[in-house]
Structure 1
Amino acid sequence: MKASRRAVAHDARAGRADTLRTVLGATAVGLASAFLAASAAFAFVAVRVARRVVMPAARAADTRILDVDVAAQTITLKRTPDTALPGRYGLFTTGAADYLKVGSILSSDAATVKRKLLTEVDGDMHLAPEAAFSGWYFRQPEELHLPFTHEYVPTALGPCPAWLFPGGDDGETGESWVIQIHGRGTTRSECLRAVPVFHSLGITSLVVSYRNDGDAPRTRSGTYALGATEWRDVDAAITWALRRGARRIILMGWSMGGAIALQVSLGSAHRESIVGVILDSPVVDWRTVLTYQGHELRIPTAVTGLAIGTLGADWAAPATRAEGGIPFDRLDIVARADELRHPALILHSDDDGFVPSSASHALADARPDLVEMQTFTTARHTKLWNYDQQRWTDAIESWLRRHDPTFAEESAS
């Protein structure tokens, strides 16, 4: 009997053990499945974020038109950090007009901003509510009322359209040229604001396009490399300029155009012809920018980190639709500060809102012998000219005269 009871007890314990193993096994499988599902979702979001970084996108609406007073020639916009900025700006619209110029703020409250219209509108013009606020101001080269020609710069991908503004009133280009490089998601029009400054100093402006920007030739993928390949098109523009009499080249880059200008400064075969670099709201280190933007968009830090890692990997290029891995180390100019050889002027707002100024400050701290930084506040991203045109202009003119007296000589001649 005792043996029988022991056998029954043993069988019961064995049954409980089997049940426990079954439960634990099922739990492990469930946890593994949940982990794999979460990992897959995590990776999917990271790839979507990475793809968004390199894919050119249409300009997104960032404000709304609430009222247009035809009699008073005023426009009321939804208040945002940008629409509340003093100065002159552009407004991308849809409907009867696709672009308007706006001027001074006439009144504002917590929700709205009323501004003066600098583009005349009439009662028959219907505008959709959605609009995009812009620092461009000038949209076409003709608006500057300066002589210019349409040019095409030969590159490895094909001819890249450019605008050439001779520095001399007689149409002569002279020996001092500035090559202007626009930013991500924009076109050459972004650079037009700076042309009069250089023209007043007798400096010729070559306002260039580069691969995948909508004007220049498209690569197979049609995606940005964040400056890692685009710089070659700008280097081709230097070759083109030197063949037409340029001897001293200034590079001016806006936002991602700053990243491109820095890559040209470091990698060009024509480095000896480059005399300086001017950077407006520049990308100096992409990882800093992407981490900041991820935080602003409330993307989990881990997802942002995985997206950056995905962008940097060659094997992930088919998923991100990039040409290849983005070489973030090569694009980190703070880490490469010792390699700089050209004097640089950085113009950056500490409340940029898109490209944080921290990397610009770090570069200026790392190379005080070469890098001068003019810090703005309130001016936001690439809107420094609009916000304080006089200070912006004075900073560039003063820097040019101090770093190459020939600019002052040419403007006086």
Structure 2
Amino acid sequence: MDSAQAALTAPATGQGNAMTLRAKWTLGGIIAGGTAAALLGAGSSALALYFARRVLTPARVRAADQEILAVIKEGREQQVILAATPETTHDGTYSLFFDGGAGHARIGRILSYSPAERTVLREVEAVYSGNLEAAARGWWGGATYQFPSDVGLAFEDAGIEVEGGTAPAWLIPGEPGAETWAIMVHGRGATRQECLRGARVVHELGLPNLLVSYRNDGLAPAAFDGRYGLGSTEWRDVDAAISFALARGAKDVVLFGWSMGGAICLQTADLSEHRQVIRAMVLDAPVIDWVNVLAHHAELNRIPSAVGRYGQLMMGHKVGRRLTGLAAPVDLKSMDWVSRAVELRTPTLIVHSVDDEYVPYQPSALLAEKNPDVVTFEPFEGARHAKEWNADPVRWEGLVRAWLQQQLAPRVNPGMGGSPDSGPGVPT
């Protein structure tokens, strides 16, 4: 969800008109004996359905909500004047997409900021595609690189066989003979470009690195129902990526996940037949508890809490799914890792900014509090959603490097004086 900054649940009048009153009341009657619909009313029921569908349906068009006021050229260098927003006034390196996503620029440090004029002047580090000078609007994001080569890394295109076809991936080679691979999973509304921010530190550790795509992200084959499973279905594509790595010499893997990608990684570690080879996970601004996130978005969009809960009920009910378009209900409770904290046995590092406006950080902190032997929580400040690396790449890479070095250190059998990975020691 890097980048999925526009409200996912913004209500719009008239969206429920296509849904007949009979369908609304039938749903309410079947799910709750008529009580929910009777209490909410037809209009609120339609809003609950709209809320559920917005959460589950991949957006085809991103909102260009960032004004590009001017581009200044000085020789080969460029600067851009942007409307000041909570995002554009944060220090760090970010992405600016324009021309419907066909244009992509990397935006660097703040050169000047005028609160009175509500503008900010920033350095343009690179324009990967499109004509920034001709752009009037775009959207802000954290996917600062376009290809692995922009990070200085060689790569090859790979294809992972998933349900419905082949999902493209980037494979960045590691050290020859490396037996631990990294697999990186992007968030909702983003692509594998989002993961490039973590590629350098993985390469320094010598790990081969798969940056994957998954159903409904615009690159991999779409799911049959065209709906997000919020991790409950997407994990199968990550499981296929693990199979790909194992077939090419991996003995175990480290999963990286951003935002909804974190939820996908958690489901993979829970449900995959390969879960025993998942050595560790690094999760950036992960969705730990969807109920918490959806309640947060209902509040942000001034949707009554009862309506938001009814929308959640639609997602998880076998009848409600007929209206949401889901092929199968989404079990939100099974993805509540605060409640399931003791069940998580994979060593996990969570990096999460305390000012995350999109996925509240509290469930991440609670998970670590409830399972401190397995989960390490590192809070950031001033990074907003899934942009911890963007705000402070030195700290992000340092934390990840140190934690992974500890996790990947040769295992020593305790108590017997054996050498690393050598089996029981022989007393002398």
Q: Would you say same fold, with TM above 0.5?
A: yes
Relative distance call for 1:304 and 1:394 in structure 2 (3 A) is same
Q: With structure 2 as the length reference, what TM-score do the two structures score? A: 0.82
Stretches of structure 1 that go unaligned for 5 or more consecutive residues are 1-34, 408-413
Kindly state the Cα deviation for residue 317 of structure 1 after the two structures are TM-superposed: 1.4
Counterpart of 1:315 in structure 2: which amino acid?
V
Query: How is 1:213-362 mapped onto 2 (pairs within 5 angstroms)?
Result: 213-362=217-366
| 1:104 to 2:109 alignment | yes
Equivalent position amino acid for 2:235 in 1: W
Match of 1:147 among 154, 161, 165: 154
- More helix by proportion, 1 or 2? 1
Aligned with 2:54 (options 52, 55, 71): 52
Task: Write the deviation string for residues 174-218 of structure 1: whole angstroms up to 9, x where unpaired.
Answer: 111111000001111110111111000101111111111111111
d(CA) in 2 for partners of 1:150 and 1:173? 20
How far did residue 220 of structure 1 move?
Answer: 2.1
Structure 2 Cα separation of the partners of residues 36 and 201 of structure 1: 58
Rounded to whole Å, the distance in 2 between the matches of 1:331 and 1:159 is 27
**Counterpart mapping for 1:119-138 below 5 A:** 119=126, 126-138=133-145
Structure 1 residues 327-381: Cα deviation after superposition (integer angstroms, max 9, x where no partner) = 0011111111121111100000000110000110110111001000000011111
User: How far off its partner does 1:43 sit?
Assistant: 0.6
CA distance in 2, matches of 1:125, 1:302: 44
Tell me how far apart the structure 1 counterparts of residues 379 and 274 of structure 2 sit (CA, whole Å): 30
Q: Deviations over 1:102-132 (max 9, x none)?
A: 11001112212110111269xx864332210
SS at match of 1:327: coil
Q: For 1:310 and 1:182, locate their aligned partners in 2 and report how far apart those are by CA, in whole Å.
A: 26
1:87 aligns with 2:104: no
Q: How does 1:390-409 map to 2 (within 5 A)?
A: 390-406=394-410
1:67 is the counterpart of 2:70? yes
Name the CA distance, whole Å, in 1 between partners of 2:366 and 2:39: 40
Q: Which amino acid aligns with 1:94?
A: D
Looking at structure 2, the residues matched to 125 and 235 of structure 1 have their Cα atoms a distance apart, in angstroms, of 39
Q: Residues 109 and 299 of structure 1: is their aligned pair in 2 closer, same or farther, counting only changes over 3 Å?
A: farther
Post-superposition CA distance 1:258-305 (Å, at most 9, x none): 000000111111122111111000000101001111111222212111
> Are the counterparts in 2 of residues 259 and 331 from structure 1 also a CA contact under 8 Å?
yes
What amino acid sits opposite 1:224 in the alignment?
Y
Partner of 1:202: 206
Opposite residue 282 of structure 2, the aligned amino acid is: I
Q: CA deviation at 1:80?
A: 1.4
Letter of the structure 2 residue corresponding to residue 214 of structure 1: G
1:230–1:268 distance in 2 versus 1, CA, 3 Å: same
Q: CA deviation at 1:36?
A: 6.7
TM-score, reference length from structure 1: 0.85
Counterparts in 2 of 1:173 and 1:310: CA distance versus 1, 3 Å: farther
Count matched residues: 368
How far is the alpha carbon of 1:318 from its aligned partner? Answer: 2.3
Pairwise CA distance, 1:238: 0.7
Q: Which residue of 370, 385, 388 maps to 2:389?
A: 385
Distance change in 2, residues 1:260/1:125 (3 Å): closer
- Which residue does 1:20 correspond to in 2? none
Contact 2:288/2:363 (<8 A) preserved: yes
- Whether the aligned pair in 2 keeps the contact of 1:87 and 1:387 (CA below 8 Å) is yes
Output the amino acid matched with 1:108: Y
Which whole-Å CA distance do the structure 1 matches of 2:121 and 2:307 have between them? 39
Matched, 1:113 2:120: yes
Using the TM superposition, give the Cα deviation of residue 248 of structure 1 relative to its aligned residue in structure 2, in angstroms.
2.1
Counterparts of 1:140 and 1:131, CA distance in 2 = 20
- Which protein shows a greater Rg? 1
How many Å separate the matches in 1 of 2:101 and 2:50? 35
Give the corresponding residue for 1:42.
44
For 1:4, the equivalent position in structure 2 comes to none
Verify the 8 A CA contact 1:94 1:127 in the aligned structure 2: no
Contact 1:166–1:203 under 8 Å retained in 2: yes
2:73 and 2:100 map into 1 onto residues whose CA distance is 16
Q: CA–CA distance in 1 between the matches of 2:257 and 2:156?
A: 21
- 1:16 match: none
Aligned mates of 1:333, 1:248 — CA distance in 2 = 23
Q: Provide the C-alpha distance between the structure 1 equivalents of 2:110 and 2:86, rounded to a whole number of angstroms.
A: 13
